[in-house]
Amino acid sequence: MAQQWTTLAEHILKEEQKIPKATGSLSLLLTRIAEASKIISTHVKHSGLIGIEGLAGKQNVYQEDVKKLDEFANNLLVDTLSESGQVFAIASEEMEKPKILKDGKAEYSVFFDPLDGSNNVDNNNSLGTIFSIYKKGKDFLQPGKNQVAAGYIFYGSSVMLVYTTGKNVNGFTLDASEGSFLLSHPNMKIPKKGNIYGINEGNYNLFDKPVQKYIQFLKKDKPYRLRYAACMVADVHRFLIDGGIFMYPSDSSAPKGKLRLMFEINPMSFIIQTAGGMTITTTENPLDLVPSQLHQKTPVAMGSSDDVKNFVKFHKK
């Protein structure tokens, strides 16, 4: 008999049925994000053909050049979420301020990085989208541990959607012929220890001593393998599957590192921790940080718990 696949839509509905008071709002929201990601993936896969490579001709709040695909993905997600009727606020890495919607009953806010790894657009390498969902609270900016769901879409050699609501982590592969995400990676668990590390080692001379010493340790005896895609989604996905450690530390030119707490670090940390891994700023779990600014950055290391614990030890020596 042919294999019976569970679709993402079925999976989301089944999960919702386990929660007695669920309204269906979160399910609708997740489904909308998945639908938008399929459209983004089509554009990503055709980017060399439809004139959507290259720069949009402006900079974002981080003084980074915005790519046309960043803008396309951002606008599509903003429109999709605005029309969904399920959100009262939308915040994006590509927008200076959140968009507040006057949607009376909506109880969720969504934070997203519409296109992660956008330096890879023009060289046909990996890209992603990251999303993070909160329930309305007394403060708009809440600690990452309050996330009700988070996920990413990885536009790699296949397109995958990985998400969690905090119980477990499930991965779906897009069957392009059917246009459906199918449950290919149920209940994902990160190995307790790996033998791969990922970091922009070109910055080595700018790193603090503990990070330099940790990297030297990784190269000793039985050296770790270095893998770096310059797309956090692609890199973290690799470590989720294979184990190991991903790092974007602070350096003397970027004292807070590069990655953004609300748009990148919190959602990816929620996934890694739910899968049994660990994430750390060097001293704290990023999910415990009380955010003070929408676009704040923080250094981070995440991955297999044994590897991250060892990274922390180097900061205590």
If one asks whether residue 118 binds ligand AHG (CB under 6 A), the answer comes out as yes
**What is the DSSP code (8-state) at residue 14?**
H
Would you call 177 helix, strand, or coil by DSSP?
coil
What is the side-by-side strand order in the sheet with 127-135?
99-100, 87-92, 108-116, 127-135, 149-155, 159-164, 169-175, 180-185
Stretch that binds Mn ion, among 85-93, 156-164, 197-205, 267-275 (CB under 5 A): 85-93
Q: Are 89 and 37 in contact (CB under 8 A)?
A: no
Q: Which is nearer to Mn ion, 32 or 260 (CB)?
A: 260
If one asks whether residue 71 binds Mn ion (CB under 5 A), the answer comes out as no
Stretch that binds ligand AHG, among 10-18, 49-57, 211-219, 224-232 (CB under 6 A): 224-232
At residue 146's C-alpha, the angle toward residues 247 and 186, to 5°, is 65
Q: What is the four-CA torsion angle of 254, 294, 160, 157, rounded to 10 degrees?
A: -30
Stretch that binds ligand AHG, among 12-20, 34-42, 113-121, 297-305 (CB under 6 A): 113-121
Residue ranges of alpha helices (H) inside 97-248 are 209-219, 232-242
Strand stretches in the chain, DSSP E: 55-59, 65-67, 87-92, 99-100, 108-116, 127-135, 149-155, 159-164, 169-175, 180-185, 196-198, 225-226, 245-248, 278-280, 300-303
If one asks whether residue 296 binds ligand AHG (CB under 6 A), the answer comes out as no
User: x/- contact string, 80-109, with ligand AHG (CB under 6 A)?
Assistant: -------------x----------------
**Adjacent-strand bridge partners of 163:** 151, 170
Would you call 289 helix, strand, or coil by DSSP?
coil
Stretch that binds Mn ion, among 10-18, 111-119, 172-180, 296-304 (CB under 5 A): 111-119
Which of 232, 265, 268, 278 touches ligand AHG (CB under 6 A)? 232
Q: Which is nearer to ligand AHG, 235 or 307 (CB)?
A: 235
Residues 217 and 221: their CA atoms lie apart, in Å, by 8
If one asks whether residue 302 binds ligand AHG (CB under 6 A), the answer comes out as no
Binding-site size, ligand AHG (CB under 6 A): 12
The per-residue DSSP string of 220-270 comes to SSSPPEE---S-HHHHHHHHHHH--EEEE--BTTBTT-S-BIIIIIHHHHH
User: x/- contact string, 115-134, with Mn ion (CB under 5 A)?
Assistant: xx------------------
Which of 113, 235, 251, 307 touches Mn ion (CB under 5 A)? 113
**From the list ligand AHG, Mn ion, none, which binds 258 (C-beta under 5 to 8 Å, kind-based)?**
ligand AHG
**From the list ligand AHG, Mn ion, none, which binds 42 (C-beta under 5 to 8 Å, kind-based)?**
none
CA 25 from centre of chain: 22
Shortest Cβ 118–ligand AHG spacing (Å) = 4
If one asks whether residue 113 binds ligand AHG (CB under 6 A), the answer comes out as yes
Residue with token string 């009376």: 104
If one asks whether residue 235 binds Mn ion (CB under 5 A), the answer comes out as no
If one asks whether residue 297 binds ligand AHG (CB under 6 A), the answer comes out as no
* Bridge pairing between strands 196-198 and 245-248: parallel
Binding-site size, Mn ion (CB under 5 A): 4
Binding site for ligand AHG (CB under 6 A): 64, 93, 113, 116-118, 200, 230-232, 248, 258
Binding site for Mn ion (CB under 5 A): 93, 113, 115-116
